[in-house]
Amino acid sequence: MSVENQLKTLPEKPGCYMYFNKNNKVIYVGKAKNLKKRVSSYFNKAHDVKTTKLVRDIVKLETIITLNEKESLLLEQNLIKKYKPRYNIVLNDDKNYPYIAITNEKDPEYIYIRNYNSKNKESFGPFPDGSSARKILRTLERIYPLRRCKGNIGHPCTYFHIEQCSGACFQEVEKSFYDKQIKKIKDFFDGKSNDVQEILENKMYQAAENLQFEEAQRIKEIIEHLKFTTEKQDVDLSDNINRDVFNYFEFENYICFTVLFYRSGKLSLKNNEVIKNEGQDINDLFKSYILQIYSKNLVPNFLGVPKTINVDDLKLFFQKTILNEEDFTTNRLLDLAKENAREYLFQKLHYSDQNSITKEEVLQKLQSLIKLDKFPYHIEMYDVANMLNEYVTGAMIVFKNGVVSKNDFRKYNIEIEEKGDFNRMEEMLYRRYKKDLEFPEKWADLIIMDGGIIQVHAAKKALAKLSIDIPIIGLVKNDKHKTEYILDTNENKLDIEKNFEVFKLLENFQLRVHNYAISGFRKRQSKGILKEEILSSVKGMGEIKVKNMYEKFKSIENMKKLSIKEIDEVVKNKTTSQELFEFLKSVK
C-alpha cells in the first residue's frame, strides 16, 4: 500500500508511528495524541528544507495504537532504543554514569554500578567518572563498613580483621547496625556530615607527621575526590537538594542539549549531546532526550526544564518533579545550562577536526573516503579471540548511525576442526547471515573485519556462499597492535591521518570489538577451567582422565546422562567411575 493510501486508513487515536526508507529500515519514530492528524501533517502541507528531506526518504509507515499518552510516550522510547532511527535523537549506550549503591539484602553491601537500579536499597550518584566513584566507595568501606565478604562463611573474614566488614561472615548482625551505617552514609552524600573528611584529614596529618608523604598525598587525593563539583560555576547552591537542569541551544542546523546534575546543591557533572536537526519538532526531541537520560539514571528531587517546552506529558512520568516555573533559582540554573549548551556547540563547530560535528557527518566522510554507494547507517565489525586454539570466540559489534547498538552485539562459540583465522571468520560470518538470509533489512550497510586480506577474503567467501553482496573493508594493525590503515572495498591499502575523525571513529570500533571478543574468550575460558576443577574434585580423576572425558563427551550436561559402564570406558577404573557417576548425579 502506498503512503498516500495508508494515510486514509490511519486511526484518530493515540499511539506511535514509524517511518521506513527504501531499505525497509526505520528512520523515524514519533508519538501522537491523534495518529491521523499528526502523521498526515507530514505529507499534506509545505515544510522547511530539513523536514522535506525526512519526508522524501519515507516509503512506508506503520502505526501502533496505545491506550493513552503515557503508554505512547513509553512505547516511543522503547522503539527508539530498539531501532536507533537516523532522524531521532539517540543517546550512545556508553552514557552510563557511575553510581555507588547499597544492596537490598539482610546483610547489605556496597556495589559500584554503571546503570541505576531501583531494586537496590540506596543509590548515590551519578559521579563524574569511574575512578572518583571507586575511590569514594573504597573510602566508605573503610569508614562505614557494611558486609564485604560473601557472608555466613563460618569464620571471620580478612576484611573483618581490618575493621572493613560488618561481621556477617560469622555472626548475626543486628538490623539496627546497618540502619545506623546507612543513615551516616546518606548524611555524608547529603552534605549533612563532615565526619568522613575530618577522619581522612586526621589520617593525612598523621601520615605527614610520620614522614609517610606518599600516603599523605594519596589521602589528599581521596579528599579531593569527595568533592563532587567538577567545575567551578557561578551558581553554588546551599539547599542540599538533588536537581537536574535541562536546556538547549540551536544554531543553524544543530542543536546541543545539556543537563547539569546537581547533587546536594553542588554541580556533580554535565552531559552535552549535539545532533543535526533534520526537521524534527524541538519539543519531541527535547523530551526524548530527557526520557533517555532517565532510562539509566536516578530521578532527582527536581527537574528544571525551560518554559518553552510543553511538559504536560512528561508530568505523566515525573509528576511534581518537573519544574519550569519562573522562580529565581530555577531561572539562574536554566540560564547556566543554556550557556553551557551554547559554549559546547560553538566549540564543536569551530574546533572539531574537519568540521564534522555529529557521528552522522563523520560517517558521511567515511562513505566518501571508501566510495560506498549508500550511507553506512548499519555497520558491523568482527574479531576472533583464542589462546592455543582453545575456547575460540568470535565477536560481532554493531553501530547504527555511529551509535553503539549493544542489543545487536553477538558472541560466537567457534568449534570447528579447521584452524586459523580464515576458517573461523568464515564460519562466524556464514552463521550470522544464514540466520537472516530472508531478512535483508537486517543486513549491514558495511562490514569491517579486524585484520587484513585474510580476514576480508574469509568474509567475502562466507557471503558469496549465501549470494549476499555487502561492502567489506579491513582494519589493519601495526606491530604494536595499533590501528594502522584501511584495506578498502577493492582491497587496496588506504592510509588516513591519525588525527582525522574518521580514523578515530574506526579506531574506536576496532578497540571495542577486540575487547568484546577478549571478554567472551575469558568467560568461556574461566567456565572451562571451572568445569575441569569440578571433575578434578572427584578422587582418582587426574588431569588426563578429566581431559579425556571432555574430549569425548564435551560437557557436564552430557556426562550426567551417562551410565557407569559408559564412564568406565574412558576412566578405566571401576571405583573411580562409580565415584564420578555418584558425583555427576549430585551436580545441579
Per-residue pLDDT reduced to its tens digit, 438-486: 999 899 999 999 989 999 999 999 999 999 999 999 999 888 778 889 9
Per-residue pLDDT reduced to its tens digit, 543-558: 788 888 888 887 777 8
Strand boundaries in 277-407, DSSP class E:
302-304, 322-323, 378-387, 390-400, 403-404
Per-residue pLDDT reduced to its tens digit, 60-113: 999 999 998 889 988 999 999 888 888 888 887 656 788 999 999 999 999 999
| CB crowding 191-211: b at 16 or more within 10 Å, else e | eeeeebeeebeebbeebeeee
What pLDDT does 407 receive? 85
Percentage of the chain lying above the pLDDT 70 cut: 91
What pLDDT does 380 receive? 96
Q: What is the average per-residue pLDDT within 167-189? A: 93
What pLDDT does 528 receive? 62
Is there a common fold for 362-524 and 537-586? no
Q: What is the average per-residue pLDDT within 517-546? A: 74
What pLDDT does 232 receive? 44
Residue 99 near residue 189, CB atoms below 8 Å? no
Cα dihedral sign, 244-247-253-254? negative
| CB crowding 32-61: b at 16 or more within 10 Å, else e | beebbebbeebeeeeeeeebeebeebbeeb
CATH architecture designation of domain 537-586: Orthogonal Bundle (1.10)
Q: What is the average per-residue pLDDT within 300-313? A: 88
Nearest to 94 by CA among 404, 503, 344, 408: 404
Q: What is the average per-residue pLDDT within 172-176? A: 95
Per-residue pLDDT reduced to its tens digit, 382-397: 999 876 567 788 999 9
| CB crowding 416-448: b at 16 or more within 10 Å, else e | eeeeebbbbbbbbbbebbeeeeeeeeebbbbbb
Q: Which of 186-200, 220-234, 488-502 has the highest mean pLDDT?
A: 488-502
Spacing of C-alpha 303 from chain mean position: 24
Burial bucket for residue 504 (CB in 10 Å: 0-12, 13-18, 19+): middle
Is the bond leading into 126 cis (omega within 30 degrees of zero)? Answer: yes
What pLDDT does 491 receive? 93
Q: pTM of the prediction?
A: 0.69
Nearest to 178 by CA among 165, 191, 188, 169: 165
CATH of 243-351, picked from 2.60.40, 3.30.310, 3.30.420, 1.20.120, is 3.30.420
Type of residue numbered 190:
D
More confident residue, 113 or 349: 113
For the chain, the structural domain boundaries read 3-83, 100-225, 243-351, 362-524, 537-586
Q: Which residue has the cell 552535552?
A: 272
DSSP state of 379: E
What pLDDT does 229 receive? 39
Average pLDDT, the chain: 86
Type of residue numbered 351:
Y
Q: Which helix (H) or strand (E) holds 256?
A: strand 254-263
**pLDDT-based confidence at residue 402 (cuts at 50, 70, 90):** confident
CB atoms within 10 A of CB 265: 18
* SS3 label, residue 245: strand
What pLDDT does 499 receive? 74
Q: What is the average per-residue pLDDT within 568-587? A: 88
**pLDDT-based confidence at residue 168 (cuts at 50, 70, 90):** very high
Spacing of C-alpha 148 from chain mean position: 27
Q: What is the average per-residue pLDDT within 346-373? A: 83
Strands 446-450 and 378-387: parallel
- Which of 214-218, 231-235, 279-283 has the lowest average pLDDT? 231-235
Per-residue pLDDT reduced to its tens digit, 111-163: 999 888 889 999 998 887 777 788 889 889 988 999 999 898 888 998 998 88
For residue 530, pLDDT beyond 80: no
* SS3 label, residue 302: strand
CATH architecture designation of domain 3-83: 3-Layer(aba) Sandwich (3.40)
**pLDDT-based confidence at residue 341 (cuts at 50, 70, 90):** very high
Residue 315 near residue 115, CB atoms below 8 Å? no
DSSP secondary structure letters along 443-509: S-SEEEEESSHHHHHHHHHHHHHTT----EEEEEE-TTS-EEEEE-TTS-EE---TTSHHHHHHHHH
For residue 284, pLDDT beyond 90: no
CATH 3.40.640.10 is held by the domain 362-524: no
What pLDDT does 103 receive? 96
Strands 60-65 and 99-102: unpaired
What pLDDT does 233 receive? 47
